[in-house]
Amino acid sequence: MIQMKGVEKSYPVGAGRTWVLRRIDLGIREGEFVTIMGPSGAGKSTLMAILGMLDSAWEGEYNFLEYTVHKMKPQQRVELHKRFIGFVFQQYHLLDDLTVAENLDLPLSYRDLKKAERQSIVADTLDRFQIVAKKDLYPSQLSGGQQQLVAVARAVIGNPKLILADEPTGSLHSSQGKMIMDMLKDLNRQGTTIIQVTHNENWAAYGDRVIQLLDGWIVPTEEKRGVAREA
């Protein structure tokens, strides 16, 4: 599903450059649940942004499904992102002024679906995540766990092939964190590829394998369960 080769990102600083990612070679198969770990500043979030096509200022090769991302124009990358990728953020990033239902509707509204169709998908999703009773509440009226649940629901509502979860439990206490991780695991079982960033070993264990990042480099690490190998 994902093939990265020699992906690098850097910022000019004075006469030199500061490297955020160095020579990233990475392969992820469809249906995998991959965990990215590493200390702060290792480049995890930057790698997620590149994977999710939120960042287009990098060098190297990136193939996503049958698409050659590194040769695509920014607008084409946005379209790809819209079709195949869902995001879950640490800070939930729900829009405060929209209700739960409206937050769920938001990504659909950017996919030019008709209103009736959108309403039907939103209703299904609310039902699937058992948050029908919360549909007219605003984010500020929900607990952190509930907010992240809505954020996950929003990430999957467009039926993405890949979910990128950047510290999805980082702002939650453990019971809420477990609920979210179980939810992600369920989605993975249903066929969605998931890449998560976490500092928590327990949550990392939900994944099939772990990729360690340090100072922008991938650190060779032991495979977990041997389900997949780097290409």
Partner 1 sequence: MDNLLLDFRYALRLLRKSPGFTLVAVLTLGLGIGANTTIFTIVNAVLLRSLPVNDPDHLVSVLGTDSRNSASQQQFMPMSYRNYEDLRDRNGSLSETAAQIFTGVNVSGKGNPEQLNATVVSGNYFDALGVRALLGTTFDREQAKKPGGYPVVVLSYGLWQRRFGADPSILGKTLTLNQQPYTVIGVAPKDFQGTFPVGFVDLWIPDAMHDQVLTGVFRDWFLQRSKRMVSVFGRLKQGVSLTQAEAELKTIAGQLAREYPNDNEGRSVRLVSLSEGSLGPARGIFVQASAVLMGVVGLVLLIACANLANLLLARSADRRRELAVRMALGASRSRLSALLLYECVIISLLGGAAGLVIAAVARHVLLLLRPPFLRAGDIDLPMDSSVLLFTLIVAVGTAVLFGMMPAWQAMRFNLSDTIKEGGGRSGSAGRRRALRNALIVTEVALSIIALTSAGLFLSSLHNAQRIDPGFESHNLLVMTLDLGAQNYSRDQGEEFHRRLRERLAAMPQVQGAALASDPPLGGSIARTVFPEGVDVGDPRRGKLSPVIQVDTNYFQTLGIPLLRGRAFRETDRDGAPMVTVVNQTFAAQFFPGQEAIGKHFRCLGETWNLEVIGITRDTKVSSVGEDPTPQFYLPLLQHYSSTFTLHVRTAGDPMAALPTVRSAVQELDHQLPQVQVRTISELLDQALWAARFGATLLLVFGLLALTLAAVGIYGVMSYTVEQRRQELGIRMALGAQKRDVLRLVLGQGLFLTGIGAAIGLLAGFMLSRGIGALLYGIRGLDPFTFSTVPAVLVGVALLACLIPARRAARVDPLEALRHE
- Which residues would be at the binding site for partner 1 (CB under 8 A)? 45-46, 49, 52, 54-55, 75, 78, 81-82, 87, 89, 91, 93, 95, 97-98, 105-107, 109-112, 114-115, 118, 154, 158
| Residue placing its CB nearer to partner 1 in the complex, 62 or 89 | 89
In angstroms, give the least distance from the CB of 228 to partner 1: 26
In angstroms, give the least distance from the CB of 98 to partner 1: 7
Residue type, 216: G
| Residue placing its CB nearer to partner 1 in the complex, 97 or 186 | 97
In angstroms, give the least distance from the CB of 154 to partner 1: 7
* Strand arrangement, sheet containing 217-219: 85-88, 162-166, 193-197, 33-37, 209-214, 217-219
In angstroms, give the least distance from the CB of 74 to partner 1: 10
For the chain, the C-alpha Rg in angstroms (whole number) is 18
| Residue placing its CB nearer to partner 1 in the complex, 82 or 178 | 82
List of residues 6+ apart from 55 with CB closer than 8 A: 9, 46, 49
Closest CA to 158 of 192, 189, 182, 132: 192
In angstroms, give the least distance from the CB of 107 to partner 1: 4
| Residue placing its CB nearer to partner 1 in the complex, 77 or 209 | 77
| Residue placing its CB nearer to partner 1 in the complex, 107 or 177 | 107
